[in-house]
């Protein structure tokens, strides 16, 4: 089976005032972000802090499955964020 580096990462932030560009730049340290993120909204159209990013994991011969994986928890300044995606390596879950 061929290993793919394509992932859909879901990012949760509790502070809605952290600019999307800062989160995208942070993710860029670990992955290549493809396109703009999509806000996830509830059935009433209210955004509750989640966005989805289409990304390509960067190659890393020493990484799990040969890819570099972003940390599941991160800070931008004093603001926390969490991310998850299918096939997250064990030990990286929030």
Q: Domain containing 37 — which CATH number? A: 3.30.70.330
State the pTM of this model: 0.85
Structurally, how many domains does the chain consist of?
Answer: 1
pLDDT-based confidence at residue 93 (cuts at 50, 70, 90): very low
Domain span including residue 72: 6-84
In-domain check, residue 93 = no
Q: For residue 31, give the nearest of 52, 6, 12, 3 by alpha carbon.
A: 6
In-domain check, residue 69 = yes
Q: What is the pLDDT of residues 66-91, one digit of tens each?
A: 899 999 999 999 999 999 998 787 66
pLDDT at residue 8 greater than cutoff 80: yes
In-domain check, residue 48 = yes
């Amino acid at each position: 089976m061929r290993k793919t580096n394509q992932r859909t990462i879901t990012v949760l932030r509790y502070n809605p005032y952290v600019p999307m560009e800062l989160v995208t730049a942070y993710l860029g340290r670990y992955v290549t972000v493809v396109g703009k993120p999509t806000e996830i909204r509830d059935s009433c159209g209210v955004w509750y802090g989640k966005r989805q990013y289409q990304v390509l994991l960067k190659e890393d011969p020493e990484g799990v499955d040969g890819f570099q994986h972003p940390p599941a928890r991160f800070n931008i300044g004093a603001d926390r964020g969490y991310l998850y995606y299918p096939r997250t390596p064990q030990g990286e879950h929030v």
